[in-house]
């Protein structure tokens, strides 16, 4: 049983619920109607005079309530966690409804000071449909002894749901004062109730980008203007109620800048592609500039009392142009006009300048077309959407698709916004130019024609694009789950794909080229890459860094974002503040660390622009843009680093801070780029956007080249951040390397703050929200971008939703990703997710994931504590020191589970340390890579899983790539997915010999790895090579008759010897091993039948048959094969017997028997 749990951090009066089924819900008559061990308190009360206090791990209160089985109920209460609540353990505060007979319960998550606010009243609820008629409605503490609880509850409600949802009611709102001079401090108090549910969010928007939550909020207006404060109250069903209050803020001398031409109004519509603005500036203005935030173009204005700008270029649709003036005290004031440019006759996007990468391509190879698009879209990297979910305020989008057809089939390939790059010194450098791009590949040969369709808010247009002729090629195609054996993957052409690899090292282009070469040479073909740090969507690893101590987001760097301030329709901004407070605020952030130095071209001058807001910045300095090397915490001091911008002080509404930087003749990267509060005593700054643009010779600006330039990184698909993955994914296509791409980060700070209804809600946000929510729709936009950018690539093995979700997590989101990719992608790739531990076959069977992915670090997240392998018991340490046994154990448990119906990959594993997933330090001394050799050959089992070593340090440092070659070479001709392979079942004469492998269902093919079990990496490092071992291996149920046994070197996979066999009728193979130091591998192959004897006659007697045939004239043994039908292939016949005579008698088993006689010449 499950229940939805949400939290509202809301101060105020108790909501009035309809038909509360509880008695004495506010405890105003003590514990009347309640049972339990908690006691009444007057220390805290949400309403009235009393509440209940819980100060021990066993305290609870409950009521028994009858319910209907066909209805849904909501249990809600107000909670107050006292600051004295301490400790740590499993469990926490529990809100539940328990079957009267204790046979089941409905419960939300456990609440603790770690996941809920402390020192304020907040509301929690659960919803459920009961399956038992009498319930114990219970609130209390439930958990381990490590907790020292102290909390209160009040105003408990339990009601039956039904009927139409009623919106919440704002019962009171008061703002004071509503006018005054800067700095104006305004306090708002509000109260609201939901007549049929729970108020889950109370949001204050002060009209200047400041947004706070709670029933009361205070804000200081630092800049003059007329603002509209708005209050939004949201209930548990997403219904919202709003109200607004006008706030007037004045300042002496305001306004300092006024736009009067072409109009003094706030908006104007024009039909020309350029505009010039005119107006007035105050006499004390020191400098001025204009900025078109639609195009990110800007320019200087001569600071005279009457100004006229140069011609400002416009994009189709809305352009928001600011004219900004700088005052002597370092503050900035501005005026804005919204200009709508309507090109004559515009009815949809304008497409032009098509360029095709080739007139013909081979099957599965990349074909690319580039072109230009002009559109009114204000968010062109997102698709057009005429059914936008609530509170998705990214702007209007643009959908561009190439419709490709060959007269038989039609493919729709989405396009994406592509930044142009140049390669210099092993790096890709953005040029500041961009195009629209379609990347496609084709399975079918012949002529393909192209129509490009584009849609924005004005309409849909289509244009004929280039055609391409597809010729036959030798590419094996895209990957999928095998049609014949659900343990394995296969290519479009039916060949087996057996994944072998580890974590691919991302570096500069030259390093990746070299690494790919080594992978190709050694048969390494598979890796798992995280997009999260290089994702075009969102910014979970926070591209900005700081020298000052801030709290990490789990294993990711500090997010450095705040939801309290945002520009326009954004949700967040980057925040800096002075003085530095460890874990709370940093006075400086910079680019150049997490994502490397910003790439630039030599002999260029770049303009750096930061859109920011300041609050009460005081001191001799101010907010400034600096460049420098590793400046450390001293960056806040004057003279440390080079300031390239003026200083901004005081309080300023959203404004622009600009500086310029010129590169030298051989400079391809910027120094670190800082935004810092230098020489500031106190104050805050909030940054919405930072751009770096080349200044062209005509004074215009090239496009921004800084990746992740917007704090609201979820509202665009960044063209730069994934440029190295663009390169790698394409290069992998021709290198025989295949990649599973982890597309999102489950702990993404921003994506975990949206609730189901699109509001930023730190108490109720979640990574997995409901379908058709703001968060889900933005993910769909992202998934479309993935298809557009990399859907062409045969190297993309699959899309992985998240790295290491909790076991059984994100089922609906996984299904959603699979449904989207399988329906939208022209050639769908596989989809999965991954868990940090645990084998969950029910989950993989129930979801649309194409295969399973589990993580199992041997000493930490792995779940096998002890296991028997080859009759010997292994614990975790012994598995680590015998990695072949480790991979064999997990493969056997997972692969041979009858509940497994899909392939499984162990996406991360390592021979780690107890309590630490770092590799055992002893591995660094294994210079030959015996640990890796055995780990790889352990994959020979019938379990079918493939496991990836996560930490590649020892492989790279000790140059161990060649360890993959032997196994890859040995296995490449074995089509495991076609012949029903299963465990070979070999036995050994001594426990010091290990014999693992597989045979096919007919016993005609088998392969086996024979290993000196004592020759492990740990033993060799500790005491040198093990003693050689001799013994025998026995294999049963092979096909009788002629065969070969080929011996292979396990380091090279090459043949080192061939035995010719003639297996007896029992199908038993006996292998003798002498003085084995390390290991050996063998392949058994049954040979075709020898010449068939013709002229066989059959005499049928009552109880037997007699076969006779003519002698062949040479000494031989005759083999008699029997089948039930005359169309049975030789390989499926049963050996009935052998003889040296020319006749043979057989019992009559059925009315029909079919025989073949084979001649085996004697040597």
**pLDDT tens-place string over residues 227-251:** 999 999 999 888 999 999 999 999 9
Contact in structure between 201 and 233 (CB atoms under 8 Å)? yes
Cα(968)–Cα(956) distance, integer angstroms: 19
Angle at 421 between CA 420 and CA 426, to 5 degrees: 170
Residue 167 is classified by DSSP as P
Q: How many residues does the chain have?
A: 1163
The pair of structure tokens assigned to 213 is 């939550």
524: DSSP letter: -
CA distance 969 to 322: 65
Closest CA to 566 of 613, 520, 534: 613
Residue 731's CB is within 10 A of a number of other CB atoms, namely 17
Q: Point out the residues of the chain with pLDDT beneath 70.
A: 1-18, 1089-1090, 1131, 1150-1152, 1163
Per-residue tokens: 376? 């009114």
CA–CA dist 559, 636 (Å, integer): 20
Quick one: what percent of the chain has pLDDT higher than 70? 98
Domains and CATH numbers, the chain: 4-160 (2.60.120.260), 169-240 (2.60.40.10), 257-341 (2.60.40.10), 361-474 (2.60.40.10), 564-715 (2.60.120), 1097-1161 (2.60.40)
Q: What pLDDT, on the 0 to 100 scale, is given for residue 197?
A: 79
What CA–CA distance (Å, rounded) separates 793 from 4?
40
pLDDT at residue 195, as a whole number:
83
Neighbouring C-alpha atoms within 13 Å toward the C-beta of 367:
26
Question: Residue 552: how many CA atoms within 13 Å on its side-chain side?
Answer: 4
Q: Reading across the β-sheet that carries 987-988, which strands appear in turn?
A: 987-988, 1029-1035, 1069-1076
Burial annotation 10-45 (CB, 10 A radius, 16+ → b, else e): bebebbebeeebbeebbbeeeeeebebebeebeebb
Q: What gap in Å lies between CA 7 and CA 765, rounded to an integer?
A: 9
Average pLDDT, the chain: 94
Rounded (10°) angle between helices 883-895 and 930-937: 20
Residue 991: partners with Cβ closer than 8 Å, 6 or more residues away: 870, 871, 872, 1013
Question: How far is it, in rounded angstroms, from Cα 388 to Cα 396?
Answer: 10
Residue 195 CB coordination number (10 Å): 14
Q: Helix or strand or coil: residue 1104? A: strand
CB neighbour list of residue 697: distance below 8 Å, 6 or more residues apart: none
Nearest-angstrom CA–CA distance, 537 and 545: 18
| Secondary structure, 3-state, 45-83 | CCCCCCEEEECCCCCEEEEEEECCCCCCEEEEEEEEECC
**What is the DSSP-derived secondary structure letter of residue 342?**
-
* Distance of alpha carbon 47 from alpha carbon 26, whole angstroms: 7
**For residue 1095, what pLDDT is reported?**
80
Minimal CA–CA distance to 490: which of 1005, 1006, 975, 999?
975
Cα separation, 859 vs 875, whole angstroms: 10
| 911: its two tokens | 């021979």
- Asked if 1086 contacts 999 with a C-beta cutoff of 8 angstroms, the reply is no
Q: How far apart are CA 350 and CA 421, in angstroms?
A: 24
**Residue 108's pLDDT is what?**
85
Neighbours of 536 (CB within 10 A): 25
Helix extents (H) in 847-946: 876-880, 883-895, 930-937
Q: Which CB contacts under 8 angstroms, 24+ apart, belong to 278-282?
A: 278/306, 278/307, 278/308, 278/309, 279/306, 279/307, 279/323, 279/335, 280/305, 280/306, 280/307, 281/256, 281/257, 281/305, 281/306, 281/307, 281/325, 282/253, 282/256, 282/257, 282/325, 282/327
Alpha carbon distance 949, 908 (integer Å): 6
Closest CA to 719 of 506, 432, 298: 432
Bridge partners (DSSP) listed for residue 1069: 1035
Please tell me the distance from the alpha carbon of residue 572 to that of residue 210, in angstroms, as a whole number.
10
Q: Alpha-carbon distance 527 to 608, whole Å?
A: 38
Q: How many CB atoms within 10 Å of residue 685?
A: 28
**Residues 350, 339: Cα–Cα separation, whole Å:** 20
DSSP 1060-1089: EEEE-TT--EEEEEEEESSEEEEEEEEPPP
**Extended strands (E) in 82-168:** 86-87, 91-99, 105-107, 121-128, 134-143, 147-148, 151-160
The pair of three-digit structure tokens given for residue 327, joined into one six-digit string = 């005052």
Strands 332-341 and 267-270 turn out to be parallel
Instruction: For 570-588, give the DSSP string.
Output: -S-EEEEEES-BTTTB-SE
Distance CA 441, CA 887 (A): 37
Give me the residue label for tokens 């994406």. 416
Do residues 206 and 219 lie in contact, with contact meaning Cβ atoms separated by under 8 Å? yes
For residue 125, what are the β-bridge partners?
6, 76
Give the pLDDT score at 8. Answer: 29
8 Å CB contact between 999 and 981: yes
Does residue 515 sit in helix, strand or coil? helix
So what's the pLDDT on residue 10?
33
Q: How far apart are CA 334 and CA 311, in angstroms?
A: 19
DSSP symbols for 10-44? --SSPP--TT--SSSTT-TTTTTT-EES-EEESS-
- At residue 1121, the pLDDT reads 86
Beta pairing partners, 1134: 1122
Pair 576, 624: CB distance under 8 Å: no
């Amino acid at each position: 049983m499950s229940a939805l749990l949400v939290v509202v951090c809301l101060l105020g009066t108790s909501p009035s619920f309809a038909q509360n089924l509880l008695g004495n819900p506010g405890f105003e008559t003590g514990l009347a109607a309640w049972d339990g061990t908690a006691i009444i308190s007057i220390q805290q009360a949400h309403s009235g005079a009393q509440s209940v206090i819980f100060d021990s791990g066993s305290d609870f209160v409950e009521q028994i309530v009858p319910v209907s089985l066909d209805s849904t109920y909501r249990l809600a209460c107000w909670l107050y966690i006292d600051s004295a609540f301490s400790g740590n353990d499993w469990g926490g505060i529990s809100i539940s409804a328990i079957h009267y007979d204790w046979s089941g319960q409905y419960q939300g998550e456990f609440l603790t000071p770690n996941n809920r606010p402390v020192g304020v009243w907040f509301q929690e609820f659960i919803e459920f449909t009961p399956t038992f008629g009498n319930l114990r409605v219970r609130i209390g503490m439930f958990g381990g002894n490590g907790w020292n609880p102290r909390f209160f509850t009040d105003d408990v409600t339990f009601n039956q749901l039904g009927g139409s949802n009623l919106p919440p009611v704002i019962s009171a709102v008061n703002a004071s004062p509503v006018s005054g001079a800067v700095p104006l401090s305004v306090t708002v108090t509000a109260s609201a109730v939901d007549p049929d549910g729970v108020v889950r969010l109370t949001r204050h928007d002060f009209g200047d980008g400041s947004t706070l939550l709670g029933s009361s909020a205070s804000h200081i207006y630092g800049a003059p203007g007329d603002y509209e404060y708005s209050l939004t109250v949201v209930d548990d069903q997403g219904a919202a109620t709003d109200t607004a209050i006008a706030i007037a803020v004045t300042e002496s001398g305001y306004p300092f800048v006024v736009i009067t031409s072409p109009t003094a109004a706030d908006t104007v519509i024009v039909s020309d592609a350029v505009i010039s603005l005119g107006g007035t500036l105050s006499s004390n203005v020191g400098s001025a500039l204009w900025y078109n935030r639609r195009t990110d173009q800007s320019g200087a204005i001569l600071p005279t009392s009457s100004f006229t700008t140069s011609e400002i270029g416009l994009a189709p649709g809305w352009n928001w142009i600011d004219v900004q003036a700088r005052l002597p005290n370092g503050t900035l004031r501005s005026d804005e006009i919204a200009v709508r440019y309507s090109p004559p006759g515009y009815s949809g996007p304008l497409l032009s300048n098509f360029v095709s990468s080739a007139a013909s391509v081979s099957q599965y190879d990349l074909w690319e077309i580039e072109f230009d698009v002009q559109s009114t879209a204000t968010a062109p990297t997102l698709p057009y959407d005429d059914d936008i979910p609530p509170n998705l305020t990214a702007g209007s989008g643009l959908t561009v698709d190439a419709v490709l057809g060959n007269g038989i089939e039609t493919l729709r390939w989405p396009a994406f916004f592509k930044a142009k790059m140049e390669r210099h010194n092993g790096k890709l450098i953005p040029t500041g130019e961009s195009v629209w791009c379609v990347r496609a590949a084709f399975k079918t040969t012949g002529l393909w024609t192209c129509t490009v369709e584009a849609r924005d808010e004005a309409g849909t247009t289509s244009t004929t694009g280039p055609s391409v002729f597809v010729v036959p090629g030798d590419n094996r195609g895209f990957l999928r789950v095998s049609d014949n054996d659900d343990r394995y993957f296969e290519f479009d052409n039916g060949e087996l794909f057996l994944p072998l690899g580890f974590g691919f090292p991302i570096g500069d282009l030259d390093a990746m080229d070299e690494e790919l070469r080594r992978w190709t040479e050694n048969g390494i073909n598979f890796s798992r890459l995280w997009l999260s740090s290089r994702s075009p969507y969102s910014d979970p690893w926070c591209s900005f860094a700081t020298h000052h101590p801030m709290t990490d987001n789990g294993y990711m760097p500090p997010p450095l974002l705040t939801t309290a301030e945002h520009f326009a329709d954004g949700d967040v901004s980057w925040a800096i503040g002075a003085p530095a407070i460890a874990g709370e605020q940093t006075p400086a952030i910079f680019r150049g660390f997490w994502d490397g130095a910003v790439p630039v071209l030599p002999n260029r001058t770049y303009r750096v622009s930061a859109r920011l807001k300041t609050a009460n910045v005081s001191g001799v300095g101010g907010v400034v843009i600096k460049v420098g090397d590793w400046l450390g915490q001293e960056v806040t001091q004057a003279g440390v680093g080079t300031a390239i911008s003026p200083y901004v002080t005081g309080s300023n509404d959203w404004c622009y801070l600009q500086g310029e930087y010129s590169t030298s003749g051989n400079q391809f990267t910027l120094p670190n780029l800082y935004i810092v509060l230098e020489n500031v005593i106190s104050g805050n700054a909030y940054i919405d956007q930072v751009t770096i643009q080349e200044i062209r010779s005509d004074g215009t600006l090239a496009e921004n080249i800084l990746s992740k330039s917007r704090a609201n990184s979820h509202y665009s698909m960044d063209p730069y951040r994934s440029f190295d993955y663009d390169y790698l994914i394409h290069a992998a296509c021709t290198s025989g390397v295949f990649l599973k791409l982890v597309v999102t980060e489950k702990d993404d700070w921003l994506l975990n703050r949206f609730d189901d209804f699109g509001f930023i809600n730190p108490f109720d946000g979640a990574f997995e929200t409901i379908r058709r929510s703001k968060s889900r729709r933005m993910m769909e936009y992202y998934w479309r971008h993935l298809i557009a950018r990399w859907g062409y690539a045969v190297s993309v093995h699959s899309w992985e939703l998240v790295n290491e979700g909790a076991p059984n997590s994100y089922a609906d989101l996984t299904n959603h990703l699979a449904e989207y990719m399988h329906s939208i992608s022209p050639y769908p790739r596989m989809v999965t997710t991954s868990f940090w531990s645990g084998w969950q076959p029910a989950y993989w069977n129930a979801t649309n994931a194409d295969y399973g992915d589990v993580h199992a670090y041997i000493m930490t997240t792995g779940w096998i504590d002890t296991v028997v392998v080859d009759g010997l018991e292994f614990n975790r340490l012994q598995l680590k020191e015998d990695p072949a046994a480790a991979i064999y154990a997990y493969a056997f448990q997972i692969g041979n589970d009858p509940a497994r119906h899909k392939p499984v990959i162990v996406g991360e594993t390592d021979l780690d340390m107890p309590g630490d997933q770092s590799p055992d330090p002893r591995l660094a001394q294994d210079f030959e890579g015996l640990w890796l050799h055995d780990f790889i050959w352990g994959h020979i089992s019938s379990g079918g899983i493939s496991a990836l070593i996560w930490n590649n340090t020892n492989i790279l440092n000790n140059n161990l790539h060649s360890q993959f070659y032997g196994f890859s070479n040995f296995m490449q001709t074995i089509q495991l997915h076609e012949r029903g392979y299963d465990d070979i079942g070999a036995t050994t004469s001594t426990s010091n010999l290990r014999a693992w492998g597989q045979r096919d269902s007919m016993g005609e093919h088998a392969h086996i790895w024979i290993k000196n079990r004592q020759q492990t990496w740990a033993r060799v490092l500790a005491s040198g090579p093990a003693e050689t071992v001799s013994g025998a291996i026995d294999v049963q149920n092979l096909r009788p008759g002629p065969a070969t046994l080929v011996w292979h070197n396990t380091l090279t996979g090459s043949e080192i010897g061939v035995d010719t066999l003639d297996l007896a009728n029992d199908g038993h193979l006996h292998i003798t091993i002498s003085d084995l130091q390390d290991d050996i591998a063998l392949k058994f192959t049954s040979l075709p039948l020898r010449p068939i004897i013709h002229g066989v006659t059959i005499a049928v007697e009552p109880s037997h048959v007699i076969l006779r045939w003519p002698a062949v004239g040479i000494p031989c043994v005759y083999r008699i094969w029997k089948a039930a039908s005359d169309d049975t292939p030789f390989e499926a016949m049963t050996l009935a017997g052998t003889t040296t005579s020319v006749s043979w008698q057989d019992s009559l088993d059925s009315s029909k028997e079919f025989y073949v006689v084979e001649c085996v010449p004697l040597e």
